């Protein structure tokens, strides 16, 4: 049985992916068309606002320095590696 901490970790990673979906296209590292469906509408609505996204990134980085950047870069690397392997 998963413990509460692992559930929170999964939520935090998903939230980072959600934040990335609302970043401006010129700086967004990846597109994840499914992630928005994992959150309810108030969270999706709030993620549309830059001030909220910036706050979420700061809060996650305050807990673990550089975690947001690490997560999105890791996702981009995995996506690119899989894409090049299937082409």
pLDDT in tens, the chain (87 residues): 567 777 888 888 899 999 999 999 999 999 999 999 999 999 999 999 999 999 999 999 999 999 999 999 999 999 999 999 997
At 6 the pLDDT is 77
| pLDDT number for residue 79 | 92
Put simply, whether the predicted model's pTM sits higher than 0.75 gets the answer: yes
Sketch the domain layout of the chain as residue ranges.
4-86
**CA 70, 56, 45, 38 torsion-angle sign:** positive
Give the CA distances from residue 68 to residues 8, 15, 16, in Å, rounded to whole numbers and listed in that order.
Answer: 15, 10, 6
Distance of CA 63 to the CA centre of its chain: 16
Distance CA(65)–CA(22), nearest Å, equals 22
Give the pLDDT of residue 57: 95
Instruction: Compute CA distances 3 → 7, 8, 9, 72, whole Å.
Output: 7, 9, 10, 25
């Amino acid at each position: 049985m998963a413990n509460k901490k692992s559930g929170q970790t999964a939520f935090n990673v998903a939230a980072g992916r959600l934040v990335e979906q609302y970043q401006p296209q010129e700086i967004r590292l990846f597109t994840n068309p499914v992630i928005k469906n994992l959150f309810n509408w108030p969270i999706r609505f709030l993620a549309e606002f830059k001030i909220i996204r910036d706050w979420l990134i700061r809060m996650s980085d305050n807990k673990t320095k550089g975690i947001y950047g690490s997560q999105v870069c890791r996702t981009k690397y995995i996506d690119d590696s899989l894409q090049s392997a299937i082409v």
